Amino acid sequence: MSAPATSVDPKSTPAFQAITAMRTLAMDAVQTANSGHPGTPVSLSPVVYSLFQDVMKYDPANPIWPNRDRFVLSAGHASMLLYSIIHLMKVKTVEHETHVVDKPAITLDDIKRFRQLGSVCAGHPEYHFCSGVETTTGPLGNGVATSVGMAIAGKWLAARYNKPGFDLFNFRVYSIGGDGCMMEGVASEAASLAGHLQLDNLCWIYDSNRITIEGETDLAFNEDVGARFLAYGWNVLRVADVNDLPRLLHVLKQAEETKNRPTFVVADSHIAWGVPGKQDHHSAHGEPLGWDAIKAAKTFYGTDPEAKFHVPPEVYSTFENGVGKKGAAASKAWNELFANYKAQFPAEALDIEQMLNRDLPQGWDKEIPTFPWGDVEDPKTGKSKKAGAASRDSSSKVLNAVAKHVPWLIGGAADLAPSTKTLLGFEGAGHFQAASPFGRNMHFGIREHAMGAAMNGMALTRVRPYGSGFLIFSDYGRGALRLGSIMDLPVIYIFTHDSLGVGEDGPTHQPIEHLASLRAMPGLTVLRPADANEVSEAWRWIMPQKNKPVCLILTRQELLTFDRTVCGSACGLHKGAYVLADAPDGKPQVILIGTGSEVGLCMDAREVLAAEGIHARVVSMPSWELFEEACAKDPTYREQVLPSAVKARVAVEMASTFGWAKYAGSEGAVIGMTSFGASAPLKDLLKHFGFTKERVAEEAKKQIAR
């Protein structure tokens, strides 16, 4: 059969033998599983081999050393490409994200169990499953977008912590994406951001094989991708044949030397190269090749056609003598450099150690405010008024108080910082730009999905990211938010404009189903504080979390600050729900449950009921997830807050009623939304949709009567 021109001797060189082992492991694993994508691992093995063996700083014996180069396989369906080289390099296992143990991350037996229950070799690369996988990929485009966050973090770390003679952070980030990645919008968002930020520590390799699941890309995709990236401000290079190792290395060296621009390498490949009847055919993309085709391919590669999962001993030696030795020397030199750095710059070194361990500095929370209640002076009019603030405003104060003492807490907004109040305004905070990579205020642009993916990449590099936007636009970034939840990353989402309180902006900007959908996501904690002091406690809970993503849901409209001398302590937020105000004898006739701005509405309704001699308990429930955790730890806590004997309950939330029956009871009342909102002043909307103290009190009386 004819084959692409190649400079690799198919019979003798260690490089070709290693590449052949990668290819045959992938073919055998997919065929044994009778599931998976063999074509791309076969075609791109030379690229991944060259990256790890000849280009990247990477130590298989210490796969988490901080200055390693990162590799992200955005084309996650080609997972065997990554698993095979992790095995051949003998990457060691990392436990609890921070401890390397003398155990292979992937054994040959693991590869034999590819895509089987419990195997570390899952269908798509999973961050928590095995060492060497830098991020979970699968949904196309998210991997390359995540790599942008890693590159951002690399630039920030270098600007913050590098000193003359101490180049602690200079790692590069490489990612492979295919046609599918280049079609997805998140990749375009992220590429635009990377070009703007001039991330010259970033290199994407575009596997241009002209095949997708449905067939030839001409069916739906015929643009000049390279020209698009030139327009983004990238350096665009080309490799006409991925089997041409000298050309490949030359181009990757050019990428390394390029300044002030990320690099985009268009790499032409032939899917399932060397597999008779499969090359350039879409059937090789999404299904096993068949044992007959695999035997023919092994014959073509010059290896035993009958042997399955066979790795010649000299292949392991090739990697040990290449990436193994170079990586060990590089990580050892870095550790020695850091020891000297620690002696000269102990404060900065402590920052780095705490950041890498996801710990917090001593006294990080010392400036978190306790907000006043009762009568205060209105700064605008000079007259007396009840203390209160929109939770986006109180959160802004707490965020700034915390960020001053946690230097690696960095983030921003999808072009909405003036509205989400997430700007860090203290001296030295600065703005992260190409010319000022030390800045801590990120400007993600109107790119919600790329913002989420970049935040994941930043968290994977151990800085602590936050990103903000309107709650309604959480839809735009949901794919990245979900991946962060799968990976248990401590990313912080700050979503404001959380309800009908958006008012005149109307249904397109009023979130209805969003709280319910976010609460449905496993691993994600949703916090909707009811007043300024609950906001303070929310941040006290958020910051120590090492493996929990969170959505902090905040209002635009002002919230009354509750008098904590007569109300329950705001510390109750840590348990997800607590008794804010109780019946005089602790025996309520009805329980009113609310979140966020609706807790104040419940308090007002409680007064209406009290005037009629009806005793009500108000429960603030800022987090369903934390409440369930608290009840799991202490089975009596649910009964303390929501006594089963009190069947009369009313839950109030300016959002979908979905899910509230669990707390209101199957016959309890839920005052919520069963339609989209409307465009009108807030007072009119509240009356129209029934969010009034009179309506809550009336429903409470109906519950008692029932």
CA torsion angle 442 444 446 450 (round to 10):
-150
Listed in sequence order, the residues at least 6 apart from 610 whose beta carbon sits closer than 8 Å to its beta carbon are 616
Q: What is the CA radius of gyration of the chain?
A: 28
User: Is 699 a known active-site residue?
Assistant: no
Listed in sequence order, the residues at least 6 apart from 572 whose beta carbon sits closer than 8 Å to its beta carbon are 578, 579, 580, 620
d(CA 120, CA 247): 34
d(CA 530, CA 305): 67
Written as six digits, the tokens of 653 are: 């939330």
d(CA 431, CA 411): 10
3-state SS record for 498-512: CCHHHHHHCCCCCCC
For residue 580, which amino acid is it? L
* Ranges assigned E (strand) in 347-427: 375-377, 384-386, 388-390, 409-413
H/E element holding 394? Answer: helix 391-403
Nearest to 687 by CA among 481, 465, 500: 500
Helix, strand and coil in the chain, % to nearest 5:
45, 15, 40
- Asked if 482 contacts 461 with a C-beta cutoff of 8 angstroms, the reply is no
Among 134, 189, 348, 448, the one annotated catalytic:
448
For residue 30, which amino acid is it? V
d(CA 567, CA 394): 19
Q: At what angle do helices 39-50 and 14-33 cross, to 10 degrees?
A: 150
**Phi/psi at 338 (5° precision):** -65, -35
d(CA 624, CA 620): 11
Nearest to 79 by CA among 115, 104, 47: 115
Strands 375-377 and 384-386: antiparallel
H/E element holding 479? Answer: helix 478-486
Q: What is the DSSP string of 266-286?
A: EEE--TTTT-TTTTT-THHHH
Q: Would you call 144 helix, strand, or coil by DSSP?
A: helix
d(CA 616, CA 581): 8
d(CA 545, CA 13): 50
**Phi/psi at 209 (5° precision):** -110, 0
Q: Residue-wise over 253-282: b if at least 16 C-beta within 10 A, else e? A: eebeebeebbbbbbbbbbbbbbbeebbbeb
**201 Rama sector, left if φ>0, alpha if ψ -120 to 50, beta otherwise:** alpha
d(CA 54, CA 173): 15
Catalytic residues: 448
